[in-house]
Amino acid sequence: MPSENHRAPDMHETLDRIGAHHVHIGIFDQDGLFRVKRVSRAKAEKLHKGGYPFCDVLYNWDSAEQTYGGGDYLDMPAEIYPETLRPWPFEGDQALCIADFAQPFGARSARHQLIGQIAKAEAMGFSVHSAFEFEFNLLDETAASLRAGGFAQPKHYALGNRTYSLETLANEAPLLSGLEAMAERLGIGIDALHTELGPGCLEIPLSHAPGVKAADDAALFKNFARTYFRRHGLTACFMSKLNENLPGQSGHLHVSLRHLAGGAPAFVDPSAADGLSATARHFIGGLTRLMPEMLALCSQTVNAYRRMVPGMWAPTHASWGIQNRTVAVRVMNDSPEATRIEFRVPSADTNPHAALAMCLGAGLWGIAHRVDPGPAATGDQYLSLPAPERRFPTDLGIAADRLDASAAARAIFGDVFIDTFVRARRHEHTAFARHVSEWERERYLEVV
């Protein structure tokens, strides 16, 4: 574990400051869902000191909570991290705290893998700074109405919504202000809020944060945004592609490195024609080189591959460019201080810890191996013909196979994590492969 998890504040003092009588202790599962238990403050402090047992079923079931692993489903040792304590954003006198499985079982955790990559960056002389931005659809549905037929054709909220809509922001001001207030209570910065293309579609870029906090913020934002809108009779949908008639929903990731000695941006070289340092170019080189074989780490759902097709504002192969929105890695160099990469592959349904671990792991691998990314792409990359090794897997099953065979991924993250992740993704794809869709019946029932 890196130093940031050894600088833990005193849990008792933090809970005093929050004024919490109860604590919601949560572990992120493989899909980024926050699995929570509510305990008294006294029990939370006891569990912090004595250990927090939690069932290993989180690594033995799928997104529908169907088990596939077998075994005894034992309670495994876990740890509570006081530095992650935050006020509970709804009722007062409560707090939330992140926990995770202890090692060696914890090697399966994407959050632990991310922390390991942050430690690697520190050993190389860098600090990590990042931020996610999410697009999502608001649906005029509750849990009950979705199950009464809304999954087939869900009703949208804010039907007249347009991109950068003044009308939607004005008409929905109380609802959106409440979301911003909730994020503020959670200690999550919202950099902006605007509407996007499609009914009820919002985009919310989060403020950048150092280290693991950026991924914690992103994962908590998604979990609590869903809860917030459910409390208002709505459903927040973070699917990559809700249906074939709507644009895909992105989960773009912005990443930069800074030198630990002095804090200067590590991606900047004012003497270079494009302002990029060798460190930045090698980081981009590693990310573009490994992206096709490690794609499942940031695109872990079947639905994610519905978005990565031409015309959906999503990349279709490993590429990079300066300010180009059709590439996979967009360099944003408006100013030296803010120079960063935007990793445009992740969808809104991405697991933030896995996505950032993948991006950082591949980028640091590129720095260590001095990988040249080649020239920056220009023009519309949807019209280009990429080399075979640059093309993305077309579905989750193929992506899982490529990850399984990736020597680089195994060297970066270890066999335990890769084997566990691949097994889960193959199970998810197999569940999908057994399904017969309405499209298939309409297309084939009468003609084959």
Is residue 168 a contact partner of residue 195, using CB atoms and an 8 Å limit? Answer: yes
- Kindly report each contact of residues 419-424 with a partner whose C-beta sits within 8 Å and lies 24 or more positions away, as own/partner: 420/59, 420/108, 421/30, 421/108, 421/110, 421/296, 421/297, 421/300, 421/354, 422/296, 424/30, 424/59, 424/62
β-bridge partners, 67: 61
39: exposed, middle or buried (Cβ count in 10 Å: 0-12, 13-18, 19+): middle
Q: What is the CATH number of the domain that holds 84?
A: 3.10.20.70
Q: Would the pLDDT of 299 be above 50?
A: yes
Q: Would the pLDDT of 7 be above 70?
A: no
The total domain count for the chain is: 2
The dihedrals phi and psi of 342, each to the nearest 5 degrees, come to -110, 110
Which residues are CB-neighbours of 78 under 8 A, at least 6 positions away? 27, 51, 52, 53, 54, 99, 100, 101, 102, 106
pLDDT at 9: 80
Please tell me whether residues 351 and 428 are part of one structural domain. yes
Q: How confident is the model at residue 8 (pLDDT cuts 50, 70, 90)?
A: low
Is residue 356 a contact partner of residue 130, using CB atoms and an 8 Å limit? Answer: yes
Please tell me whether residues 92 and 181 are part of one structural domain. no
Is residue 377 a contact partner of residue 288, using CB atoms and an 8 Å limit? Answer: no
Q: What is the CATH number of the domain that holds 381?
A: 3.30.590.10
Q: Would the pLDDT of 5 be above 70?
A: no
* Pairwise CA distance, residues 373 & 331, whole Å: 12
Q: Would the pLDDT of 312 be above 80?
A: no
Please tell me whether residues 139 and 41 are part of one structural domain. no
* Pairwise CA distance, residues 185 & 86, whole Å: 8
Q: Would the pLDDT of 3 be above 60?
A: no
Give, as one character, the DSSP assignment of residue 260. T
First-last CA distance in the chain: 58
Please tell me whether residues 124 and 83 are part of one structural domain. no
Q: What angle do CA 421, 423, 424 make, to 5 degrees?
A: 65
pTM for this one? 0.96
Residue 194 lies in a domain: yes
Which residues are CB-neighbours of 279 under 8 A, at least 6 positions away? 257, 266, 267, 367
Question: Each residue of 352-385: pLDDT tens digit?
Answer: 999 999 999 999 999 999 999 999 999 999 888 8
The least confident of 91-100, 158-167, 181-190 is 158-167
* Pairwise CA distance, residues 181 & 424, whole Å: 36
Residue 131 lies in a domain: yes
Residues 194-202 have a mean pLDDT of 93
Please tell me whether residues 258 and 321 are part of one structural domain. yes
Q: Strands 235-237 and 340-343, how do they pair? A: unpaired
Residue 322 lies in a domain: yes
Domain boundary among 42, 71, 105: 105
pLDDT at 4: 45
Per the prediction, the chain carries an average pLDDT of: 95
Q: How confident is the model at residue 67 (pLDDT cuts 50, 70, 90)?
A: very high
Q: Closest Cα partner for 426 from 304, 306, 296, 303? A: 296
Q: Strands 94-101 and 22-28, how do they pair? A: parallel
Which structural domain range is residue 99 located in? 3-105
Question: Each residue of 140-174: pLDDT tens digit?
Answer: 999 999 999 889 899 999 999 999 999 999 999 99
Residue 142 lies in a domain: yes
